[in-house]
Homo-oligomer: A and B are copies of this chain.
């Protein structure tokens, strides 16, 4: 996949734009594989390290992941699996931190709503998946803040997710073109960086709509006409 072009840590830092102390930190934390040792205190790095450093920085800076979460994702990504579904599943499961389950009415109502949604849409996701917990946790926040009428909003998001999903998976599989590592890396990039692109577009569209329809309206307006 990469040409073997060897370099010292200073050049690795220059090419990747990542400061040397950060590189050393990622090496110690196991995010970056060690270089080929050439002397007791010296190692050579390759294009693989440049690429991996870019991925780490992308997940931290744009994907908004913690160092620990990046470690989990990369560990899962590097673990060989029996088929593509498992490879993708392990890599992405690592990106869903287990939710602190305060077992109150809001979270119970949310879990019920999620179970019904999954049932109704026929989604093949096992009960107890951390992804369903993440959804329930986010939904419970609406309830906790007094927003009980989010059913329409959730259905709309679900419709869009179903429109988007096959195209995103197709992009990832095509991009990988037969190489599992590349497919799995694409899934990680697609999930986090694609997610960041979509979120940025979403708030840009909000600003556009707000400027066109809400500017000049007094703060306390009765209702949107649009």
Chain A residues close to B by CB (< 8 Å): 17, 51, 54-55, 58, 61-62, 64, 80-89, 92, 95-96, 100, 102, 104, 118, 123-125, 129, 131-132, 134-135, 137-139, 141-142, 144-147, 152-154, 156-158, 160-171, 173-175, 177-180, 187, 189, 191, 193-224, 226
Contacts and interface: CB of A to CB of B under 8 A. Distances in A.
Contact of A175 (B131, B147, B207): B147
Given A157-B197, A166-B226, A173-B221, 11 more contacts: A51-B145, A64-B64, A85-B217, A131-B204, A135-B201, A138-B197, A154-B201, A157-B201, A161-B201, A161-B205, A173-B214
A166 B210 CA distance: 9
Contacts of A81: 219
B135 A193 contact: no
Contact of A208 (B124, B156, B205): B124
Contacts of A144: 54, 58
- Per DSSP, are chain A's interface residues mostly helix, strand or loop, or mixed? helix
Contact of A162 (B86, B205, B215, B226): B205
Contacts of A197: 135, 138-139, 142, 153-154, 157
Contacts of A153: 167-168, 171, 194, 197
Contacts of A51: 145-146
A125 B138 CA distance: 29
A154 B77 CA distance: 25
A199 B199 CA distance: 9
Given A205-B162, A208-B123, A156 B167 contact: yes
Contacts of A215: 83-86
B223 A177 contact: yes
Contacts of A58: 141, 144-145
Nearest to A158: B201
- In the A-B complex, the 8 residue pairs with the smallest Cβ-Cβ separation, listed nearest first, are A180-B219, A165-B205, A135-B200, A173-B224, A85-B215, A138-B196, A161-B201, A85-B214
Given A157-B201, A200-B138, A165 B131 contact: no
